[in-house]
Structure 1
Amino acid sequence: MVKQLSSVPERGMKVIEEVDPVVYDMLMTHSWPGNIRELSNVIERAVNRCYERRLKPEHFVDFRRQIAGEKTEAAILLQPGKSLHEIRQEAEERAIAAALARNEGNITKAARELRISRQMLHRKLKQV
Structure 2
Amino acid sequence: MSTLKKVVLIDDDQVNNFVCESIIRNEKFADEVISFEWAEDALQYLQKQSDEDTSHFPELIFLDINMPGMDGWSFIDEYRKLPKQATSSCCLFMLSSAVDRKDILTAKSNDEVKEFFSKPLSPEILDIIREEYISG
TM-score (structure 1 length as normaliser):
0.28
Structure having the larger proportion of residues in strand: 2
Structure having the larger proportion of residues in helix: 1
Greater RCO (Cα-Cα under 8 Å, separation 6 or more): 2
